[in-house]
Amino acid sequence: MMGVLRTERVSIDFGGLRAVDNLDFQIGDEIVGLIGPNGSGKTTFLNIISGIYKPTRGRVYFNGEDITSLPPHMIRAKGIARTFQTNRLCLNLSILDNMLLGLYCQQQTTWWQAIFMSSSSSREIKLGIEKSLAILAHFNPALITRAYEPVMTIPLIDRRRIEIARAVVGDPRLVLLDEPTAGLNSEETNQMINDIAKIRRRSSQISIIIIEHDMTVISRITERVVCLNAGQKIAEGTFSEVARNELVRTAYLGG
């Protein structure tokens, strides 16, 4: 198994607080669950991978290449896409525009091409629309009829779907999902589990790191689980292994 992403002794300090502490992590062609109590540094870790924060120490390798100091847009261009814990779509833009943003990294049109070669620009956009609609159809066909509505009018579950769709539409190699089921009821959570499984079914060339609090989600879709506490990795293995781990139990019950 060729490693897709690997971090080496990554740490980050915020003032006196060490939010991620000496974390060694790796992921191959698989779905890895990232669990841990609130404030244990899960989101911060994703922010480091996606380039929003620079780690104080340590390195991040993607496909064997050191991406530690790259800015977020270059990391996206290399093939790491993500969603956010608090659903962050562009609310004033239509569903379609949000999807097209997910394709931005694959498109080539520069500003002068947009002005002087508008036919190639619109051809590119047309292809993007087709691709976006295909992916939307994959998640929820009802969204296609609403493609030209602003995201603001869409219910939460569909917003989360759109955000995931936006992340995968640009064919990333690695997708980071930050609590995709937060705020959903159990029915919706089930749908979401299916949606995430669909990503893998579309292409096994997508690895996924998923942060979750809901253990049924973790147990049903992840192949491996990593548990963080206070920024440190305290356990790693299959879900049942991790669930039996004493450290994990104390961390969750109030360590």
Partner 1 sequence: MGNKIYRYSLAGLSTLGICMALYVCLSSALLVALIVIALAIVILSVGERKNVIDKVYRLIGDNKALNLGIIALFILLLPFLVQGNNYLLHIAIMAGIFSIVALGLNFQIGGIGQINFAPAAFYGMGAYTSAFLSVKMGLSPWLGTLCGLLMAIVLGVVVGFPALKARGYYLSLVTIALQIIFTLMIVNSPWIGGPNGIPGIPSYQIGGFSFRTPVALGGIQLPYQVNFLYLVYILLALFALAANRLYNSRVGLAWNAIEQDPIVAACQGINLTNTQLLAFCLGAAYAGIAGAIYGHYTSFIGVENFDFSQSLIFICMVILGGTDNVPGVVLGAVLLTMIDEKLRDFSGYRLLMYGIVLIIILIIRPKGLLPKRIRVYQQKDRSEYSSHSAVVTGGSR
Partner 2 sequence: MELIISQILNAVMLACTYTLVGIGFSLFFGAMDIVVFCLGDVAIAGAFAIMALSTVMGVYASLSGILPAPISGIIVVFIGACFTAGLVTLMYRAVIVPFEGKNINASLLSTIAAGIVIRELIGLFYPEGRNPHAFPQLLPAGLIGDNVLLSWRNIIIIAITFIMVMLLYWFVNRTKTGLSIQAISQNKEAAIMVGINWHRIIVITFLIGGFLLGIGGFLTASYFNSLRFDMGAMYGLKGFCVAVVGGLGSIYGAIVGGLLIAFVEVFVTAFIPGGTAYSSVAAFLIVVLFILFKPEGILGEKTVEKV
Ligand X SMILES: Nc1ncnc2c1ncn2[C@@H]1O[C@H](COP(=O)(O)OP(=O)(O)O)[C@@H](O)[C@H]1O
The secondary structure of 220-237 as a DSSP string is HH-SEEEEEETTEEEEEE
What are the backbone dihedrals phi and psi of residue 28, each rounded to the nearest 5 degrees, phi first? -110, -140
| C-beta separation of 146 from 99 below 8 A | no
- Which residue, 158 or 179, has its beta carbon nearer to partner 2? 179
- Which residue, 17 or 142, has its beta carbon nearer to partner 2? 17
Contact between 140 and partner 1 by CB under 8 A: the answer reads: no
- Which residue, 41 or 128, has its beta carbon nearer to ligand X? 41
Tell me the CB-side half-sphere exposure of residue 105, using CA atoms within 13 A: 19
Q: Whole-number minimum distance, CB 251 to partner 1, in Å? A: 29
Q: Mask 31-70, x = binds ligand X (CB under 6 A)?
A: -----x-xxxxxxx--------------------------
Q: Whole-number minimum distance, CB 10 to Mg ion, in Å? A: 16
Contact between 73 and partner 2 by CB under 8 A: the answer reads: no
Contact between 14 and partner 2 by CB under 8 A: the answer reads: yes
Contact between 146 and partner 1 by CB under 8 A: the answer reads: yes
The radius of gyration of the chain's CA atoms, rounded to the nearest angstrom, is 19
Contact between 207 and ligand X by CB under 6 A: the answer reads: no
Interacting residues with partner 1 between 164 and 223 (CB under 8 A): 166, 170
d(CA 141, CA 231): 40
- Closest residue to bound Mg ion by CB: 43
Per partner kind, with CB cut-offs from 5 to 8 A, the member of Mg ion, ligand X, partner 1, none near residue 249 is none
**What is the amino acid identity at position 248?**
V
- Which residue, 40 or 121, has its beta carbon nearer to ligand X? 40
Residues 6+ apart with CB under 8 A from 92: 150, 151, 152
Alpha helix ranges (H) inside 36-174: 42-49, 72-78, 95-102, 111-116, 118-139, 142-145, 156-169
Q: Whole-number minimum distance, CB 19 to ligand X, in Å? A: 3
